[in-house]
Amino acid sequence: MKKYVVRCLLLLLLSPLTTAKENVTPEDERIRYEGRFDSPAPGTYRTDWPCARLSFGVNNVREEGGSIDVSWSSERVRLNATAWRADGSIASSEIFVGPKWRNKKQTSTLNLPKDASFVTIRKLTQAAPFGTGIGEKALAASVWEYHGVEVTGAEVVSLSPRKRVVEYIGASDSAGYCADGTPDIDGTAALLIDSWLYDNCDLATPGLLANYFDADLWVEAEGGMGLTQNANARIPAFEGKYPLPYFWENQALLTDSSSSWDPTDSNNQLSPDLVVVSLGGNDYNHQHGNVPSNETFSAAYEEFLLKIFSAYESNEDAKILSVCGQGSPAESAFDPDNNRCSPCPHVEDALNDFKINHPELGERAYLGFVPCDGSVVVGDDDIGCAGHKNAVGQRKVFDYLQPLVSEIMDW
């Protein structure tokens, strides 16, 4: 009887440790952020970039499990909330979907199994589902505002940094556009109005590479963006007048010009080991012949690579991988003015010029050409909506690039 009473008293004393709710604010130092966030007001962090992520560890999850209540606001945003085991396997996962219209604050719940070790919440959607031109001005962007979490039945702890850091700069393929889509929605209102429902940066090549190499991931990518000009540049209202390097150099959020960002500022705490640049496709495709000259493109490419190396000069081992191609033989049937491999000779020439002009830096710059002849992406079950790769196609590109990255980085 005495043993039973003692046991009950111990349970009563210990129960507050495992059942109490803990509110964790965005400013809490136990939260780790990947990607560009800013804080427009106390108690709120926000981002619009795909693959932006927060993470934190959990200890002493009670026997029956716990829960994570995420407080957030958005319009046209999907989040992947996942509880992970210590071995990297998934303990539980939920896709949180925000409202299509009218930004509002909401709470979404992730169950926390007993064997959970850490939690991640990643933005799947790109920033401007209606383009970075007039569509962005007329309709709200895909901005994720994070207000904090309430954790029940577990202790929140800090996470150690991941082994590596990768930054990925690109356009629609890099953002995971249509990775969850299917060809049957092409030409329908579902694609025009609800394309954000089919974005999935987690299943795109950047997300797959980061997961495989245990790397923190920063993605600055948006559909239609280029290096010197955006897609359909003859009509600036579609994709806006600024190509992606402008946003990389100046803005924390793609869709908010008031959100300043300086990649050379050490306070941003970004020192990538590898920067992947996947730009050039939109400079030469969807342009009806209005394409940059080799000289113009090469000069712009050189300028951008120099800015990247300069921003991260503290990491003398940082490398750049210029990725080009990754199309399929079937894509010209979907859009005759689109061939993902047609810009590759220009990218290769620009990279060679850079190596000649800057031999020391050139030793740290590499080309990652992904063929479009069907040897990687075929164009059947690996295509989602709007002629873009689905999760199967994205994994094929990852499978092709992964050995190259391993060789370049000695990972």
Q: What is the CATH number of domain 164-409?
A: 3.40.50.1110
pLDDT at 306 over 80: yes
Least confident of 20-24, 134-138, 398-402: 134-138
DSSP category for residue 408: H
- Reduced to 3 states, what is the DSSP secondary structure of residue 118? strand
Cβ count within 10 A of residue 338: 18
Q: Which residue has the tokens 């993902």?
A: 340
Q: Which two tokens mark 194?
A: 């609800």
pLDDT at 183: 94
Report pLDDT digits (tens) over 213-226: 999 999 999 999 99
Closest CA to 306 of 354, 244, 367, 369: 354
User: Is pLDDT at 147 greater than 90 in this prediction?
Assistant: yes
Domain spans, the chain: 17-157, 164-409
Amino acid (1-letter code) at residue 242 = Y
Q: What is the mean pLDDT of residues 277-297?
A: 92
Residue that wins the pLDDT comparison between 342 and 305: 305
Place of tokens 């962005």: 136
The confidence band for 289, taking pLDDT boundaries of 50, 70 and 90, is confident
In the chain, the N- to C-terminal Cα span, in Å, equals 60
Q: Which helix or strand (DSSP H or E) is residue 164 part of?
A: strand 164-170
| Cα(33)–Cα(325) distance, integer angstroms | 31
Burial of 105 (0-12, 13-18, 19+ CB in 10 A): exposed
In the predicted structure, residue 368 carries a pLDDT above the cut 70: yes
Q: What is the pTM of this model?
A: 0.92
Please say whether the beta carbons of 302 and 357 come within 8 A.
yes
175 residue type, one letter: A
The CATH number given to 17-157 is 2.60.120.260
pLDDT at 4 over 60: no
| Whole-number pLDDT of residue 134 | 54
The predicted structure's pLDDT at residue 9: 47
Band the pLDDT of 5: cuts 50, 70, 90: very low
Q: pLDDT tier at 189 (50, 70, 90 boundaries)? A: confident
pLDDT tens-digit readout, 159-169: 998 999 999 99
Could you tell me which residues come within 8 angstroms of residue 289 by beta carbon, excluding any fewer than 6 positions away?
none
Angle between the N-to-C axes of helices 294-311 and 344-357, in degrees from 0 to 180, rounded to the nearest 10: 60
CA distance 128 to 125: 9
Q: What is the largest CA-CA distance in the chain?
A: 89
Please check the confidence at residue 103 and state whether its pLDDT lies above 70: yes
Of the candidates 118, 111, 142, the one whose C-alpha atom is nearest the C-alpha of residue 129 is: 142
pLDDT, one tens digit per residue, over 51-86 is 999 999 999 999 999 999 999 999 999 999 999 999
Q: What 3-state class would DSSP assign to 342?
A: coil
Q: Indicate if the pLDDT at residue 1 is higher than 50.
A: no
Where residue 35 falls (left for φ over 0; alpha for ψ -120 to 50; beta otherwise) is left
Mapped onto helix, strand or coil, the DSSP state of residue 296 is helix
What is the distance between the alpha carbons of residues 104 and 71, in angstroms, rounded to a whole number? 11
DSSP codes joined into one string, 16-68: HHHHSEEEE-TT-TT-EEES--EEEETTEEEE-STT-EEEEEEE---TT-EEE
Mean pLDDT (the chain, rounded): 92
Integer Cα distance of 308 and 320 in angstroms: 9
Quickly tell me which residue has 């300043």 as its tokens.
260
Over 70: is that where the pLDDT of 11 sits?
no
Cβ 105 vs Cβ 119: under 8 Å: no
